[in-house]
Structure 1
Amino acid sequence: MKVKLFYRTQRELATALNQLVDAYWKEEIEEQELIVGVKNMYENNLYKLRKGSRFTKVIEQQCGKRRLEVVVNILKL
């Protein structure tokens, strides 16, 4: 699965994050690829992903609790 480094909108970022986590759950990608992808998205799109110490509302609504739990565990936030 190909992951871009920079996303234009929060919705686009949320969709890509959903696809990445879902691909891992369907066993289409390996764990290491998930970890690298999430870290790259986070580092390059920090202001679209988080506001202060929380995820932005758009990210929370689009991704949901279970997917964000995976992201938090990867990033150790």
Structure 2
Amino acid sequence: MFYKTQREIAEVINQIIDGYWNDEIPEKAMIEKIKLLYGNNESKIIKDDDFTTILKQQCGKRRLEVVEKLIK
């Protein structure tokens, strides 16, 4: 799960979290996927101790709140 752009990462985050919210992905799988995604793409997700602007715009506040709780 290595991605080239922040937009690709935002798309994947949206798919994973939306899948969880729609009961298509179990919670454990969602947590593992987000942690793996973060571990492999940390520099494209966090800049200066905050989410990148593109992620904020593409994912929205609620999804990023979930991501933040999982990666801390």
Q: TM-score range by the shorter chain?
A: over 0.9
**What is the TM-score of this pair, normalised by structure 2?**
0.97
Instruction: From 7, 11, 14, give the equivalent of 2:10.
Output: 14
| Residue 67 of structure 2 is aligned to residue 67 of structure 1 | no
Which sections of structure 2, spanning at least 5 residues, go unmatched? none
Query: RMSD across aligned C-alpha pairs, in angstroms?
Result: 0.6
Which sections of structure 1, spanning at least 5 residues, go unmatched? none
Identity of aligned residues (%): 50
The answer to which structure has the higher helix fraction is 2
**What is the TM-score of this pair, normalised by structure 1?**
0.91
Question: Which secondary structure does the structure 1 equivalent of 2:28 belong to?
Answer: helix
Aligned residues: 72
2:20 — aligned with what? 24
